[in-house]
């Protein structure tokens, strides 16, 4: 079964990682940033070695996001970020092919144990099965 494992964050978190802390997210130093990357890379190496890795990516800051909708005539309506009303966004993800929900939950727990500076927000790691067949009325 394939699963999407999602890490959440905020614009304040991205700014904190480059040293610009705020009341919502304390500034990271280079050692803390390296520890986070080492932790994530170790997870990537483990799931790759076990044949579970399909894809994994970290995403650019929310301030680079673009929302695209269409108006009544089908013309695009584009809004660029950042979005003050958005608290958490997708910060990165893994697509994993795991034998069970229990196994992917183990991996998500490893992700959740990622080292962060004291006082950092606690964002959940979200696991969702990938529906490769789509909804059915049968």
Model confidence pLDDT, tens digit, residues 8-59: 999 999 999 999 999 989 999 999 999 999 999 999 999 999 999 999 999 9
pLDDT at 88: 83
As a whole number, mean pLDDT of residues 62-86 equals 84
Structure letter (DSSP) for residue 18: T
According to DSSP, the β-strands at 2-9 and 53-58 are unpaired
Cβ within 8 Å of residue 33, ≥6 positions away: 17
Cβ within 8 Å of residue 17, ≥6 positions away: 28, 33, 36
% pLDDT > 90, the chain? 81
**Given a cut of 90, is residue 95 above it in pLDDT?**
yes
pLDDT at 85: 59
Q: Which band of pLDDT confidence, cut at 50, 70 and 90, is reported for residue 136?
A: confident
pLDDT at 84: 55
Q: Which band of pLDDT confidence, cut at 50, 70 and 90, is reported for residue 129?
A: very high
pLDDT at 83: 59
């Amino acid at each position: 079964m394939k699963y999407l494992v999602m890490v959440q964050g905020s614009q304040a978190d991205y700014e904190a990682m480059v040293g610009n802390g705020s009341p919502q997210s304390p500034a990271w130093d280079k050692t803390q940033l390296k520890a986070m990357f080492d932790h994530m890379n170790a997870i990537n190496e483990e799931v790759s070695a076990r044949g579970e890795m399909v894809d994994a990516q970290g995403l650019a800051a929310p301030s680079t996001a673009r929302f695209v909708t269409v108006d009544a005539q089908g013309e695009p309506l584009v809004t660029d970020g950042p979005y003050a009303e958005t608290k958490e966004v997708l910060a990165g993800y893994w697509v994993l092919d795991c034998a069970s929900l229990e196994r992917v939950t183990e991996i998500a727990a490893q992700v959740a144990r990622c080292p962060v500076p004291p006082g950092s927000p606690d964002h959940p790691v979200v696991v969702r099965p990938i529906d490769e067949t789509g909804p059915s009325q049968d």
